[in-house]
Chains A and B, each alone.
Chain A
């Protein structure tokens, strides 16, 4: 069977030229096959790396998006200051005035990996900059993921499926979206760790060896250090064990694998400070512990049954033990949950089970665009033909059920459910979909090629030969008289190759068009088709870095916090970590209040500069005015004085003349549209035409009282305003001074009428002049 497969693989792939090359190298069939496999894997490794380099080639080697800037800043700190400083770092440059304990609130896996790679390369005397290492970490780990996918496919089905899985996952857009060069985020490393943990666990279940289970525990440790999504692993593996126990497929190997992985994995995971004691205290991790205890009881009962050899006695024993165990477990769980010792599921993960939860209770989670439910178009965009091959692969898995295929089926189904709930989780489903589709592709192509090769073997493939592939060859022998069997198989093969080639073209196109934009540099087509680059973000951050005092505090919406701290090197009020909802709500309240109320809030937070993003000139649609309703909702969630209906007209969000008056005068509106009323943005439209909203703005004559414009970038995308310090003399004093001086002037004029003219006029002029000099500073301020 194996030899037949080898021959079919090699015979299909070797043309006369290549076969003569092989003959000249004097290779046996097995070695030919090994050479082909290694070549394919090497090419796939290189392919996975270079397909992620579009943005580096088009723009430059820079970090993309928002979150990666924080990771980059932390990695820089780690390589400069060393591990001890990094582990104990308290950052006062973000979340002013609260600060943030960075050492204890991050997942260090990514940063430590990049730092290790950096130190290794430095040790070999290549002087690279840490930014290059950070930019290229994700593609490097994507290549490693393809290797793990090959071994996993080999474990599940056979080497053919492994090779196809490696190719599919190398270019699948669902994975590329979070692992392009420059996307220095946790998921780039975490998907590698996820697939590695699953592969090692399945290997441990298949072999029953403690060494593989130990390796799986280390894989789990790496996953816990890299990403918060490790909760998926710690729930999927117990669910898998439960399914095996219920369907009666359990064995001693399962006991060895699960127990070793769970205990060692749990201990290793608790070494990460951010995770802490969650494995014994959080509701999300209780499933694993419950299954652990269940396994002990189950296997103990199995052992007793085996040693008793008497069903009646065993039944009584069973009754006593099971009631005791279940009672104990239920009491412990109930008491723990009721007393609050076992914390319930956190909002982030609870919203996966109940998708409507976040919108009502936690607006911050609901506001992130990646957390929205997935549309079919997103599935098709990210998976293409894999979406159709997924059910076919499931069919093949059910045809040949084993411990490993049950695992991949469960992984595929659960991850597809979660991918349907949240767009971001398509990434977690991608390895499962690629593996299952690879099984479908590999099994189909193998059957078809055997049909094609069944030409002279009809007489030899007797009915008594075998059960596995002889179905296909016996069909060939039965229909030997019909020549269309072979031609049909060739046609189907050509069709399969056509589908795969279309998949490759689609993936490359998607990578090039959709997933390679750095988000911090925007590109558009000009009027003559030439490419126009908007580098406004970096322009603004470098202006901040070079033109503001080093201890200046910048207030902006939390999206830009990481970038301001990393590139502008200034203290921010809120950033993307979003750990303190009240602080963010304070900023949201400031942005949605009138200017004087906002000034009070800004003075209380020591704000020196305010940064807003405005897309009205360029038509950039992810600007702060479009995000404004979320600021209102989040602010209103904590401060009831901010009410969302105040900013809407008949439930509609408008910025033109018909907008709500509070909307037209709030701080965000003023800061975005200051001086915009004089600008003509498009030919044929009136001045003040907002290209992102497509309307002419309502309030063109904006006056700022407490802020002044500090900097606007060349395409008006980022606008920075300076908060003015309070006046030296207040207006009340000025008014009183004017009143007194006018009374004095009038009285002296009346008095002067009684005095001879020349001296009285002289005296009058003198006193008038004195009064004016007192009143003039206030006069100028009034004007």
Chain B
């Protein structure tokens, strides 16, 4: 079982995730920075052509990211509360899964079945919660005949089966 290599793989993946999240943060901060220091604009005119284009590209990108972020935030604020609760549960499950992966990257994956069962219980319950959100969301025309109680009962049943199997697999 090539666990050192697997660990290296996990570390690489985590590194990439961190890098992309840091890139997003940089974009955001640069956007805020740009907004705060508008008076630096006239100086950009005196730079060379390539630098100008680069600065313009970066500014459109940051402006886009900023606008994107704002639109998403305003659209999300309009969702009903029950869906927001489900979303919170999904985020919690995903964060727990990431913590488990990081822990496995640090200490190694020896009881592999335990690692898999822990990870899959988080991922599984997140996925089932997404399915519940889809079925309960009033905007989905396909599920308008489905009573939300039935959707929740299915969700609970699937989670019970999931966790029973997890407990058997945990070792």
Chain A residues near B (Cβ < 8 Å): 208-211, 213-214, 217, 251-253, 255-256, 259-260, 263-264, 266-268, 270-271, 277, 280, 304, 307-310, 313, 316-317, 324, 328, 331-332, 335-336, 339-341
Contact residues in B for A307 (Cβ distance below 8 Å): 72, 75-76
Q: Are B12 and A277 in contact (CB under 8 A)?
A: no
Q: Are B168 and A264 in contact (CB under 8 A)?
A: no
CB-nearest residue of chain A to B70 = A313
CA distance A246 to B59 in the complex (A): 35
Q: Are A263 and B116 in contact (CB under 8 A)?
A: no
Contacting residue for A214 out of B112, B132, B158, CB 8 A: B158
- Residue picked from B13, B124, B127, most chain A C-beta under 10 Å: B127
Q: With A209-B154, A259-B131, A341-B2 in contact, is A331–B12 under 8 Å at CB?
A: yes
CB-nearest residue of chain A to B142 = A252
Contacting residue for B154 out of A211, A253, A270, A310, CB 8 A: A211
CA distance A339 to B7 in the complex (A): 12
B102 at the interface (CB under 8 A from A): no
Q: Are A260 and B128 in contact (CB under 8 A)?
A: yes
CB-nearest residue of chain A to B139 = A306
| Residues of chain B in range 55-111 having any CB-CB distance to chain A below 8 Å | 61, 64-65, 67-68, 71-72, 75-76
The 10 A-B pairs of least Cβ separation, nearest first, read A210-B154, A307-B75, A256-B131, A339-B5, A263-B124, A259-B127, A316-B64, A267-B165, A252-B134, A313-B68
Mark interface residues in B1-29 (1 if CB within 8 Å of A CB, else 0).
01001101100110010001000000000
Contacting residue for B116 out of A217, A256, A270, A328, CB 8 A: A270
Give B124 Cβ to nearest chain A Cβ, in Å.
5
CA distance A263 to B129 in the complex (A): 13
CA distance A336 to B2 in the complex (A): 11
Q: Are A264 and B112 in contact (CB under 8 A)?
A: no
Give A263 Cβ to nearest chain B Cβ, in Å.
5
Contact residues in A for B146 (Cβ distance below 8 Å): 208-209
Contacting residue for A253 out of B120, B130, B142, B165, CB 8 A: B142
Q: With A208-B142, A210-B154, A260-B127 in contact, is A335–B12 under 8 Å at CB?
A: yes
Q: Are B157 and A252 in contact (CB under 8 A)?
A: no
Q: Are B68 and A264 in contact (CB under 8 A)?
A: no
Q: Are B158 and A341 in contact (CB under 8 A)?
A: no
CB-nearest residue of chain A to B16 = A328
Q: Are B135 and A267 in contact (CB under 8 A)?
A: no
Contacting residue for B13 out of A208, A270, A328, CB 8 A: A328
Contact residues in A for B117 (Cβ distance below 8 Å): 267
Q: Are B130 and A259 in contact (CB under 8 A)?
A: yes
- Residue picked from A264, A271, A336, most chain B C-beta under 10 Å: A264
Q: Are A210 and B131 in contact (CB under 8 A)?
A: yes
Q: Are A313 and B67 in contact (CB under 8 A)?
A: yes
Q: Are B72 and A264 in contact (CB under 8 A)?
A: no
Q: Are B120 and A266 in contact (CB under 8 A)?
A: yes
Give A290 Cβ to nearest chain B Cβ, in Å.
15
Contact residues in B for A332 (Cβ distance below 8 Å): 9, 13
Give A38 Cβ to nearest chain B Cβ, in Å.
29
Q: How many A-B residue pairs have CB under 8 A?
A: 112
Q: Are A255 and B154 in contact (CB under 8 A)?
A: no
Give B91 Cβ to nearest chain A Cβ, in Å.
13
Give B96 Cβ to nearest chain A Cβ, in Å.
16
Chain B residues near A (Cβ < 8 Å): 2, 5-6, 8-9, 12-13, 16, 20, 61, 64-65, 67-68, 71-72, 75-76, 112-113, 116-117, 120, 123-124, 127-128, 130-132, 134-135, 140, 142-143, 146, 151, 154-155, 157-158, 161-162, 165-166, 168-169
CB-nearest residue of chain B to A321 = B20
CA distance A277 to B1 in the complex (A): 11
CA distance A210 to B12 in the complex (A): 35
Chain A interface helix/strand/loop/mixed: helix
Give A277 Cβ to nearest chain B Cβ, in Å.
6
CA distance A331 to B19 in the complex (A): 15
Contact residues in B for A214 (Cβ distance below 8 Å): 154, 157-158, 161
Give B17 Cβ to nearest chain A Cβ, in Å.
8
CA distance A328 to B168 in the complex (A): 32
CA distance A316 to B117 in the complex (A): 37
Q: Are A255 and B131 in contact (CB under 8 A)?
A: yes
CB-nearest residue of chain A to B151 = A210
Contact residues in A for B16 (Cβ distance below 8 Å): 328, 331
CA distance A280 to B10 in the complex (A): 14
Q: With A260-B127, A341-B6 in contact, is A308–B142 under 8 Å at CB?
A: no
Q: Are A256 and B169 in contact (CB under 8 A)?
A: no
Instruction: Report 14 cross-chain contacts, Cβ distance below 8 Å, ordered by A residue.
Output: A208-B142, A210-B128, A252-B134, A260-B128, A260-B131, A264-B124, A264-B161, A270-B116, A270-B169, A308-B68, A308-B75, A328-B16, A332-B9, A336-B9
CB-nearest residue of chain A to B119 = A280
CB-nearest residue of chain A to B155 = A210
CB-nearest residue of chain A to B10 = A332
CB-nearest residue of chain B to A307 = B75
Give B57 Cβ to nearest chain A Cβ, in Å.
12
CA distance A210 to B158 in the complex (A): 7
Give A210 Cβ to nearest chain B Cβ, in Å.
4
Give A261 Cβ to nearest chain B Cβ, in Å.
11
CA distance A474 to B132 in the complex (A): 47
Contact residues in B for A316 (Cβ distance below 8 Å): 61, 64-65, 68
Contact residues in B for A263 (Cβ distance below 8 Å): 120, 123-124, 127-128, 162
Give B117 Cβ to nearest chain A Cβ, in Å.
8
CB-nearest residue of chain A to B121 = A267
Contact residues in B for A209 (Cβ distance below 8 Å): 146, 154
Q: Are B127 and A268 in contact (CB under 8 A)?
A: no
CB-nearest residue of chain B to A209 = B154
Give A96 Cβ to nearest chain B Cβ, in Å.
30
Give A312 Cβ to nearest chain B Cβ, in Å.
8
Contact residues in A for B64 (Cβ distance below 8 Å): 313, 316
CB-nearest residue of chain A to B4 = A339
Contact residues in A for B65 (Cβ distance below 8 Å): 316
Contact residues in B for A335 (Cβ distance below 8 Å): 9, 12
Give B130 Cβ to nearest chain A Cβ, in Å.
7
CA distance A259 to B124 in the complex (A): 9
CB-nearest residue of chain B to A276 = B113
CA distance A331 to B65 in the complex (A): 26
CA distance A340 to B4 in the complex (A): 12
